[in-house]
């Protein structure tokens, strides 16, 4: 995080975006371009062993005839060449296609923004740097590639390949929401990706060593991280109480919330995370990776809701000033049927192969695709509409509202 400047100003109730976007545009643009530039080599180096491993498992499946190696929906596994379930492999094409489409749309938005401000020094709307959006598009493409690789031979040993980029996309979405109004103090690419790598590392540990001690340590870590991040969001990375500990009056002053609306919304987020933490500690679900992923996705959803509520409370109006944002918000309803198909559980690697086959079902669509394939198609659309919502969410202030009149929250 950037530490320069007078942090005490950041706790003023009327802190404008202009105070948190003072760095030169060229410097900031270069900083955020590193998000997609760094993600490309990460994606390449991560993908190579993934492809090698899953096809090695597929060869074992074919050579030994051991159907317990890969967890397919055997009642709707349509083979093609070396692929035993080509339908589960091919249905990931939606992620790749819509990821490429999102990159083209982002490029068009960037060109429009650049043309608008090419010959003017006036600072209107939020500072727009598109590096994180490009990274989101690349992550969506890689989600399709890694999900396809996972479905070459789904198993307990390679489940993280199917979810790694979901963590990355969720993290990038939260970063993008934060970056729009705090461009000077948002984490750099290497810090963000290091944190996301640690999350994936914890996921691997959790899948492999789900012991009581692991859940105790993870629960404590989850609560601490939640409280620290909530404090940073509340105080806008500023030092909120430099007099803390010097006197009783200082302690009492620090205890009085300066931003009641913000603290209420953050308190709800803290309660959500406490709920996930306690559920994990008590129930210790077998699918740790899914538990952590749902925690991430719920936090992303809540932070988006928080952002929209704070926009409205600050006098910004999505309707009628941002009609395309409303359209994309409505289209996010595709997540409802998508989640329905996701929970069908046609093949479950956390069970024995025999128990997993009990959930197998016949094809649902065109006598070729099963319920999980439909999840792939619908979730790809859901992710695309979510990203388009983020891309257009601040249309109502872009190009028409001075930055010193736009609040940071």
Asked whether residue 222 is assigned to any structural domain, the reply reads: no
Half-sphere exposure of 380 (CA within 13 A, CB side): 27
Give the pLDDT confidence of 160-171 residue by residue, as tens digits.
Answer: 778 889 999 999
The arithmetic mean of pLDDT across residues 131-156, rounded, is 90
Q: What angle do CA 342, 275, 215 make, to 5 degrees?
A: 85
Asked whether residue 159 is assigned to any structural domain, the reply reads: yes
Considering only CA atoms, which of 232, 143, 147 is closest in space to residue 182?
A: 232
Q: Are the beta carbons of 341 and 371 closer than 8 angstroms?
A: yes
Handedness of CA 157, 74, 297, 47 (dihedral sign): positive
Mean pLDDT for all residues in the chain = 82
Asked whether residue 317 is assigned to any structural domain, the reply reads: yes
Q: Could you tell me the pLDDT band of residue 119, with boundaries at 50, 70 and 90?
A: low
What is the Cα 372 distance to its own chain's centre? Answer: 21
DSSP-derived secondary structure for 183-230: TTTSPPHHHHHHHHHHHHHHHHHHHH---HHHHHHHHHHHHHHHHHHH
Of all residues in the chain, what percent carry a pLDDT higher than 90?
24
Token pair 């209107």 in the structure block, residue:
124
Asked whether residue 12 is assigned to any structural domain, the reply reads: no
Task: Please tell me the predicted confidence (pLDDT) of residue 108.
Answer: 93
Q: Which domain holds residue 117?
A: 25-210+286-405
Asked whether residue 241 is assigned to any structural domain, the reply reads: no
Considering only CA atoms, which of 354, 219, 365, 240 is closest in space to residue 295?
A: 219
Task: Please tell me the predicted confidence (pLDDT) of residue 400.
Answer: 77
Task: Please tell me the predicted confidence (pLDDT) of residue 240.
Answer: 43
Considering only CA atoms, which of 171, 162, 140 is closest in space to residue 381?
A: 140
Asked whether residue 234 is assigned to any structural domain, the reply reads: no
Q: Could you tell me the pLDDT band of residue 107, with boundaries at 50, 70 and 90?
A: very high
Task: Please tell me the predicted confidence (pLDDT) of residue 6.
Answer: 44
Q: Are the beta carbons of 125 and 397 closer than 8 angstroms?
A: yes
Q: Could you tell me the pLDDT band of residue 9, with boundaries at 50, 70 and 90?
A: very low
Distances (CA, A) of 22 to 113, 126, 189: 19, 12, 19
Q: Could you tell me the pLDDT band of residue 13, with boundaries at 50, 70 and 90?
A: low
The arithmetic mean of pLDDT across residues 248-270, rounded, is 66
Neighbours of 366 (CB within 10 A): 8
Q: What angle do CA 118, 121, 127 make, to 5 degrees?
A: 80
Asked whether residue 186 is assigned to any structural domain, the reply reads: yes
Asked whether residue 227 is assigned to any structural domain, the reply reads: no
Give the pLDDT confidence of 334-362 residue by residue, as tens digits.
Answer: 999 998 888 787 887 777 888 788 888 88
pLDDT at residue 7 tops 50: no
Task: Please tell me the predicted confidence (pLDDT) of residue 122.
Answer: 62
pLDDT at residue 397 tops 50: yes
Q: What angle do CA 249, 250, 255 make, to 5 degrees?
A: 95
The arithmetic mean of pLDDT across residues 242-261, rounded, is 51
Considering only CA atoms, which of 381, 385, 376 is closest in space to residue 92?
A: 376
Task: Please tell me the predicted confidence (pLDDT) of residue 4.
Answer: 41
pLDDT at residue 244 tops 70: no
Task: Please tell me the predicted confidence (pLDDT) of residue 65.
Answer: 66
Domain count, the chain: 1
């Amino acid at each position: 995080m950037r530490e320069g400047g007078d942090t005490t100003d950041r706790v003023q109730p009327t802190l404008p975006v202009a105070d948190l976007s003072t760095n030169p545009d060229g410097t900031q643009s270069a900083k955020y371009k590193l998000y997609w530039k760094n993600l490309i080599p990460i994606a390449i180096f991560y993908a190579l062993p993934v492809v090698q491993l899953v096809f090695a498992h597929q060869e074992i499946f074919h050579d030994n005839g051991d159907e317990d190696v890969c967890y397919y929906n055997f009642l709707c596994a349509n083979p093609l060449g070396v692929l035993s379930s080509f339908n589960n492999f091919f249905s990931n094409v939606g992620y790749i296609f819509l990821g490429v489409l999102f990159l083209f749309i982002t490029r068009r938005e960037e060109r429009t923004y650049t043309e608008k401000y090419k010959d003017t020094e006036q600072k209107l709307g939020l500072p727009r740097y598109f590096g994180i959006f490009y990274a989101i598009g690349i992550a969506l493409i890689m989600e399709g590639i890694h999900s396809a690789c996972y479905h070459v031979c789904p198993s307990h040993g390679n489940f993280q390949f199917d979810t790694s980029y979901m963590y990355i996309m969720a993290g990038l979405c939260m970063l993008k929401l934060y970056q729009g109004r705090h461009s000077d103090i948002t984490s750099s690419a290497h810090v963000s990706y290091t944190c996301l790598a640690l999350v994936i590392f914890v996921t691997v540990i959790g899948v492999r060593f789900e012991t009581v001690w692991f859940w105790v340590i993870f629960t404590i870590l989850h609560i601490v991280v939640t409280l620290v991040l909530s404090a940073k969001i509340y105080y806008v990375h500023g030092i909120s109480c430099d007099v803390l500990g010097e006197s009783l009056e200082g302690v009492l002053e620090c205890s009085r919330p300066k931003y009641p609306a913000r603290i209420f919304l953050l308190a709800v987020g803290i309660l959500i995370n406490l709920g996930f933490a306690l559920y994990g500690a008590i129930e210790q679900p077998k699918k740790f990776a899914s538990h952590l992923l749902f925690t991430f996705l719920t936090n992303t959803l809540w932070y988006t809701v928080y952002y929209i509520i704070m926009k409205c409370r600050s006098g910004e109006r999505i309707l009628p000033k941002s009609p395309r944002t409303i359209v994309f918000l409505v289209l996010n309803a595709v997540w409802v049927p998508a989640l329905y198909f996701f929970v069908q559980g046609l093949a479950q690697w956390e069970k024995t192969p025999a128990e997993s086959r009990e959930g197998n079902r016949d094809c649902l669509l065109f006598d070729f695709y099963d319920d999980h394939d439909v999840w792939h198609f619908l979730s790809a659309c859901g992710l695309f509409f979510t990203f388009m919502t983020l891309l257009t969410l601040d249309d109502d202030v872009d190009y028409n509202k001075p930055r010193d009149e736009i609040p940071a929250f």
